């Protein structure tokens, strides 16, 4: 989403780096470019004015003009101010001291409430909670069925009622959760194509009846400033505690993410970054500011890796690498775990400095071809690829829908990779031996 804005910021900072020293004129010119970049990204005009004023005030201070690296000082200020307008720090969900915690999801039709309800339930379940989903949308024909299907996929129960009053369904679901040991209730409420009094009145009645722990607005980031206006309307009419911004992986300009907290005072708590049910991330303003400025987001990358990587499998893989027993089967498993972390171009964009090298393009089809080739091998061939002769290569190519050249390329690359891993293992073992010798010498002294 922020690719366009990131490129603009990179250009602005590149100009500053080309200066031997920075004058007030340089800063004014840079801020003029920043203003254009933010407005083009559909950031709220008042937010842009406030942001620029704060950056100007700090950037024209003596700490920048007299600094040895003034360009880095300006970048630091811009990052800190971007972080500030997006909320400053991570905003967690509030959990009730007297369960169940009631999370009431509201928003317009098409914003993705039902899918977000399932994503949120999946995440909270992984965090050790015992959630239940509630089908409180009695108007959209497929709403209940969709929630049931999603609930089955993540193995979270769905409370539903044959009644037609959403408020009564909500009240019944809370009583059911309290009596059956569910400590989180997630209500999927009805939306409309546009804001109307009838919808708002229903949500107000529901809120009074169940007293939710948090009311979370689900807003579509692709709608830009409309998402901000929707947030303002829901806050004024119903009262919200936070926002979940969906479709942040889309090609919109990102103005909603930069404007909502500053305009409404309500934090973004989660962002949807894909269609899969695991594609819901906590919103960290500082990390998002780093991404926008092309500095990467290594902490989120590590968290994704830890979530995708099974600890026991990771330890087993380390042993195999040490003992040079790494096979094609292990290689395929690693590829699958890598793909479970999300789209590769998104992952690579989190690596600091990589964004500045230009557009990141990853051919995920090639990874699928590699998996198909390995899947077409017998267990013995995966364990001992040196037995794969010409006839076996033809069979594997036919079975995977690839060419013999593709099979040859994979086998050659795998052998080259094993050599590199062996060298790394030798170097690592050497370093450990050196460390042990140093420790022995210290003990002798």
| 152-185 pLDDT tens trace | 999 999 998 877 889 999 999 999 999 999 999 9
Q: Are the C-beta atoms of residues 238 and 106 closer than 8 Å to each other?
A: yes
Half-sphere exposure of 39 (CA within 13 A, CB side): 11
Q: pLDDT band at 1, cuts 50/70/90?
A: low
Q: What is the predicted pLDDT for the residue at 104?
A: 95
Percent of the chain surpassing pLDDT 90:
29
Q: Answer with the residue of higher pLDDT: 225 or 53.
A: 53
Record: fold of 3-85: 1.20.120
* Domain 101-295 architecture: 3-Layer(aba) Sandwich (3.40)
Q: What is the predicted pLDDT for the residue at 244?
A: 92
Largest separation between any pair of C-alpha atoms in the chain: 83
Q: Are the C-beta atoms of residues 118 and 275 closer than 8 Å to each other?
A: no
The residue assigned the tokens 């780093």 is: 290
The residue assigned the tokens 């590199």 is: 420
Q: pLDDT (tens digit, 9 = 90+) per residue, 17-38?
A: 766 667 778 888 888 888 888 8
Decide if pLDDT at 393 tops 90.
yes
Range of weakest confidence among 2-11, 206-215, 220-229, 417-426: 417-426
Q: Are the C-beta atoms of residues 382 and 328 closer than 8 Å to each other?
A: yes
Q: What is the predicted pLDDT for the residue at 354?
A: 47
CB neighbour burial string for 121-155, b if at least 16 within 10 angstroms, e if fewer: bbbbeeeebbbbbbbbbbebeebbebbeebbeebe
Tokens of 312: 């026991």
Q: Answer with the residue of higher pLDDT: 110 or 402.
A: 402
Q: Are the C-beta atoms of residues 204 and 238 closer than 8 Å to each other?
A: yes
Domain span(s) for CATH 1.20.120.140 in the chain: 3-85
Distance of CA 302 to the CA centre of its chain: 12
Hey, which residues does 133 pair with through a beta bridge? Answer: 158, 186
Q: pLDDT (tens digit, 9 = 90+) per residue, 48-105?
A: 899 899 888 887 776 555 555 667 777 888 888 889 988 888 888 999 999 899 999 9
Q: Are the C-beta atoms of residues 348 and 362 closer than 8 Å to each other?
A: yes
Query: Cα separation of 274 and 272, whole Å?
Result: 6
* pLDDT, mean of residues 386-402: 92
Assigned CATH class of 310-340+362-433: mainly alpha
Domain span(s) for CATH 3.40.50.300 in the chain: 101-295
Q: What is the predicted pLDDT for the residue at 131?
A: 95
Decide if pLDDT at 315 tops 90.
no
Q: pLDDT (tens digit, 9 = 90+) per residue, 354-377?
A: 454 444 555 667 778 888 999 999
Q: What is the predicted pLDDT for the residue at 288?
A: 82
Q: What is the predicted pLDDT for the residue at 330?
A: 80
Q: Answer with the residue of higher pLDDT: 392 or 290.
A: 392
Domain span(s) for CATH 1.10.260.30 in the chain: 310-340+362-433
Q: Are the C-beta atoms of residues 243 and 271 closer than 8 Å to each other?
A: no
Q: pLDDT band at 138, cuts 50/70/90?
A: confident
Decide if pLDDT at 297 tops 70.
no
Q: Are the C-beta atoms of residues 123 and 154 closer than 8 Å to each other?
A: no
Query: Cα separation of 191 and 108, whole Å?
Result: 4
Q: Answer with the residue of higher pLDDT: 301 or 146.
A: 146
Q: pLDDT band at 269, cuts 50/70/90?
A: very high
Decide if pLDDT at 40 tops 70.
yes
Decide if pLDDT at 343 tops 70.
no
Tokens of 313: 């499998």
Q: What is the predicted pLDDT for the residue at 155?
A: 94
* pLDDT, mean of residues 114-137: 93
* Torsion of Cα atoms, 216 then 219 then 225 then 230, to 10°: -60
Percent of the chain surpassing pLDDT 70:
76
Query: Cα separation of 384 and 310, whole Å?
Result: 25
SS3 letters for 306-322?
A: HHHCCHHHHHHHHHHHH
Q: Is the pTM of this model over 0.75?
A: no
Neighbours of 330 (CB within 10 A): 17
First to last CA, the chain: 60
* pLDDT, mean of residues 101-115: 90
């Amino acid at each position: 989403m922020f690719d366009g804005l990131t490129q603009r910021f990179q250009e602005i900072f590149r100009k500053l780096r080309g200066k031997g020293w920075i004058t007030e004129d340089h800063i004014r010119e840079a801020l003029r470019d920043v203003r254009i970049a933010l407005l083009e990204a559909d950031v709220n005009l008042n937010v842009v004015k406030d942001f620029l004023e704060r950056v100007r005030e700090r950037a024209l201070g003596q700490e920048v003009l007299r600094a040895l690296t003034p360009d880095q000082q300006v970048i630091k200020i811009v990052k800190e101010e971007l972080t500030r307008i997006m909320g400053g720090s991570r905003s967690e969900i509030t959990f009730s001291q007297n369960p169940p915690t009631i999370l009431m999801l509201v928003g317009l039709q098409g914003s993705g409430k039902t899918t977000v309800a399932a994503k949120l339930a999946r995440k909270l379940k992984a965090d050790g909670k015992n959630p239940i989903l509630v089908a409180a949308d009695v108007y959209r024909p497929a709403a209940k069925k969709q929630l049931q299907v999603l609930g089955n996929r993540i193995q979270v129960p769905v409370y539903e009622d044959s009644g037609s009053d959403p408020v009564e369904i909500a009240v019944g679901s809370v009583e059911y959760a309290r009596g059956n040991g569910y400590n989180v209730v997630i209500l999927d409420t009805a939306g409309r194509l546009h804001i109307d009094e009838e919808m708002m009145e229903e949500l107000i009645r529901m809120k009074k009846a169940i007293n939710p722990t948090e009311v979370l607005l689900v807003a579509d980031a692709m709608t830009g400033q409309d998402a901000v206006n929707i947030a303002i309307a829901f806050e004024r009419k119903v009262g919200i505690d936070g926002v979940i911004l969906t479709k942040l992986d889309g090609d919109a300009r990102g103005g909603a993410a930069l404007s909502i907290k500053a305009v409404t005072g309500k934090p973004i708590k989660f962002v949807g970054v894909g269609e899969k049910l695991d594609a819901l991330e906590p919103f960290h303003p500082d990390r998002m500011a780093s991404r926008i400025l092309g500095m990467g987001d290594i902490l989120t990358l590590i968290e994704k890796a830890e979530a995708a990587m099974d600890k026991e499998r990771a330890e087993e893989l380390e042993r195999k690498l040490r003992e040079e027993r790494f096979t094609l089967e292990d290689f395929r498993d690693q590829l699958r775990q890598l793909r479970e972390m999300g789209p590769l171009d998104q992952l690579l964009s989190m690596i600091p400095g990589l964004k500045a090298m230009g557009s990141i393009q990853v051919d995920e089809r090639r990874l699928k071809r590699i998996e198909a080739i390995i899947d077409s091998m017998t267990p013995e061939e995966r364990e001992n690829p040196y037995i794969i002769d010409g006839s076996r290569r033809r069979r594997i190519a036919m079975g995977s829908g690839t060419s013999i050249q593709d099979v040859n390329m994979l086998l050659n690359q795998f052998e080259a990779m094993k050599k590199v891993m062996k060298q790394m293992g030798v170097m690592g073992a050497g370093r450990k031996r050196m460390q042990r010798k140093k420790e022995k010498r210290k003990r002798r002294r």
